[in-house]
Structure 1
Amino acid sequence: MPSLFSPTKPDRPLRRLLIIMALLVASLFVLAFVVTFAGILLLAGIEHWQQRIACALTMTAMQALAATPADDYATEYDKCLTDTGGINNGTVEACSSAVDAKVKREMNAIYGRLHARLKAQSPGDADRLEDTQIAWLAYRNGQCSLATIYVGSPMHGYCPMMLNIQRLEELKEMAGQ
């Protein structure tokens, strides 16, 4: 029985490793930059609403630097912000919600196909996929709730969108796409 993780091309494992490494490096870079930037903002004593907008701007800019297959959604999000007149709480919420709806549709379709394939090949693996997805949903919801509290209201839409994009890429990799 073919394994879900067996490569279909000889270069697939290297490509996957490079994508994972790029995501890890980009994530670390974003984290370091956001922490530094947030510290500077706090020291500068600017208003709370300005901090939120600055953090959203920073995260949007950093998202554009990450060279991953998720760039299509990042580009769509950035274009939406530009088309709606720039970054403010309302546009961040509207644009992230619009992009996230598309991400969720694609993620649900891939998850459904992957789950059906696993259920036919190895029901135990399908059960593990379900357990993992439930745990991931709990993580996403908790993480984004915390980010909304500490970063501000733009995170309410932006955080789930970003984590859903990352999860979509993980599911695509498991599905061999």
Structure 2
Amino acid sequence: MRIVVGIGNPGREYAGTRHNVGFDVVELLASRHGTSFRPGPNHGLEASFPYRGERVLLVKPLTYVNESGRCASRVLAFYKEGVPSLLVVVDDVNLPLAKLRFRAGGSSGGHKGLRSLIDHLHTEGFARLRVGVGAGDSHQDLRDHVLSRFGKEERQPIGAAVERAAEAVESWFTDPPDRIMGRYN
């Protein structure tokens, strides 16, 4: 089984915000593979589909970004899967808008959602795909920035980045990390 957790905040008021780009990627994957999200047993919405003989589970935690690890750790335990089965898709203000960065592991980079995952999983050794949402105005509070919606001129590049991120996730189903990094970073 492959488990893809898209990080974001639940609720209509957060739809389309920078912090929800992880949700956008898993929603696109669900749409591409003809499935939809339903409430799961682990504080999240889940959708699944077969991919080349393997089951893929998409997860949207309902615990808000800063508590995403609680949902992810329960999903892994519930399905009896280990950290190597997990890929997390997350926004990153330290990357330029629409830039992707795949890593097989690493620190939180200051992202509270990743910090929660590291704390709950007791490891930094899970794959993550960061989607650049831009740093914003130096005078703007970081919280306000990540909870803001993309501007008109940003929508096309971020839409293309979400498409490429979905392709990178599909690549993760079958390809080694170095090939994914070479193609999408």
Tell me the TM-score normalised to structure 1 length. 0.24
Higher normalized strand content (fraction of residues): 2
Computing the radius of gyration from Cα coordinates, the structure with the larger value is 1
Q: Which structure is higher in helix share?
A: 1
- TM-score, normalization: structure 2? 0.23
Q: Which has the higher contact order (CA 8 A, sep 6+)?
A: 1
